[in-house]
Amino acid sequence: MGWHLSELIAKHGVPGAQIAVLADGEIHDEAAGVLSLHTRVETTTDSVFKIGSITKVWTATLVQQLVNDRVLDLDRPVRDYLPGFRLSDPAATEILTARHLLTHTGGIDGNHFTDTGRNDDAIEKFVATLADADHLLLPGTLFSYSNSGYVVLGRLVESLRGKPFHDVLREHLATPLGLTTVATTTYEAILHRAAIGHVSADGELAPTKSWAVRYFSTPSGSHLAMSARDLLKFVHLHLTDPALAVLRVPQLASVPDFGGGVVGWGLGWMLYQDGVAGHTGVSKGQKAFLRVVPSAGVAVAVLTNSSGAAPMAYEILSTVLADLTDAVTTPLPVPPAASLPVDVERMCGTYRSTLYDRTLTVEDDRAFLIRRPRNELAKSLLGKSEERVEVVRLNDSAIITATPGLDGHQVLSLIGTDEDGRARFLHDGAAAYRVS
């Protein structure tokens, strides 16, 4: 391949990484760095990295297999398949479908974190807790990224296959495809050379103190790990099996801008410009990136053990796609050269999600986004009583952080209009609703 990965990880301060490229039916891969700054174990091409939310494409594939086997209809209510299924909103319970969940339009709280244990019944128990969780909107109303929604899909898979999610994934995907590095649980991961995530601590990267959150979130992206090569073997299935092409058919023609270059959504797949599909995964100090150009039969995967790996990954993705296809990778967002004033009347106010209240305010001609935790879990995640970040207007419907964080600048969209002409939602992939 036309780069030196060891030089790139040094340039971007990433402890370890793998790259794999699928072209002309062949996969080429490379690894560099270490799996942990603590153990200094070398990264190899058969090491396993967590793929985070790229897992959602695997979950969507298992769901589509159920459709192909004629045991699931994407447009029938979920309650028809899960006896006793209930959301806090009775109207939402009646109409929620698997298609809503696959496209993040189900309105289910995306940050409903409830520990239901480590056992095989954790997913079933978690889905039961949604009866008491906040429900943002009626299904079909608005795109709002929801990890919890994919847990419900995982429960559908379990219920209709009669086995725990990780067993279904292995039996229906990993084993038939001959994927030798796929680890569906922590118990399987320790049998491999497993990457450890790294996060910023006092200005420096340090290994995380845990490898994964509880088992309940496995279908949305908490546990699945593998090599970049095996990830692209899975992608090759999607490029060669016509029955899976439907997953890349656009379901949402557009989504709010949250800085990742996503312009639409399929059934599980993020859709980018120039016919590119893919997904990004974030988990416990690891970041994974997948881009696929079906028309060219090209795919690239970048797996890393750093929460700040996006700049390196985007450099690789843009280079590979430019060399092998006509597709262009949208660069990471940056503030406009000339700062634009925030539209106070439309944009400013307080927006609420389950975990946080976010207040957009202007002080002495400078705009700030203030995040305050709403519960003890949010306090533990934020680590302080409030977070204040300066922002500027990116365009007529979005703001962007003025100073880059570890992983670049963050974009948030302001969408919808209330009766007073103000934005109804502050959107960073998931929607927070205006409360004042």
Q: Please state, in angstroms and rounded to a whole number, the distance separating the CA atoms of residues 142 and 394.
A: 22
For 413, what's the count of Cα atoms within 13 Å in the CB-facing half-sphere? Answer: 18
Tokens at 220, concatenated: 């949305």
Q: What is the spatial distance between Cα 116 and Cα 392, in angstroms, rounded to a whole number?
A: 40
CB 298 within 8 A of CB 324: yes
Q: Which of 6, 36, 47, 53 is catalytic?
A: 53
CA proximity to 66, closest of 157, 167, 151: 157
Q: Report which DSSP code applies to 198.
A: E
Please give the structure tokens belonging to residue 54: 């790229």
413 is catalytic: no
The three-class DSSP label of residue 177 is coil
Q: Which of 433, 178, 201 is nearest to 306 (CA)?
A: 201
Question: Whole-angstrom Cα distance, residue 262 to residue 273?
Answer: 8
Tokens 């289910």 -> residue: 108
Q: What are the backbone angles phi and psi of residue 391, rounded to the nearest 5°? A: -130, 160
Task: Name the token pair of 76.
Answer: 């029938």
Torsion region of 274: left, alpha or beta (phi above 0 gives left; psi -120 to 50 gives alpha):
left
Residue 331 makes CB contacts below 8 A (sequence gap 6+) with: 314, 318
Distance CA 417, CA 137 (A): 15
Judge whether 171 and 98 are in contact, CB under 8 Å.
Answer: no
CB 416 within 8 A of CB 408: no
Which are the contacts of 382, defined by CB distance < 8 A and separation ≥ 6? 356, 371, 373
User: Within 136-293, where are the H helices?
Assistant: 147-161, 165-169, 186-189, 228-240
Cα–Cα distance measured from residue 361 to residue 350, given in angstroms and rounded to the nearest whole number: 9
In 194-297, DSSP assigns E strands to 198-201, 204-207, 225-226, 264-265, 270-271, 277-283, 286-293
Instruction: List residues with catalytic annotation.
Output: 53
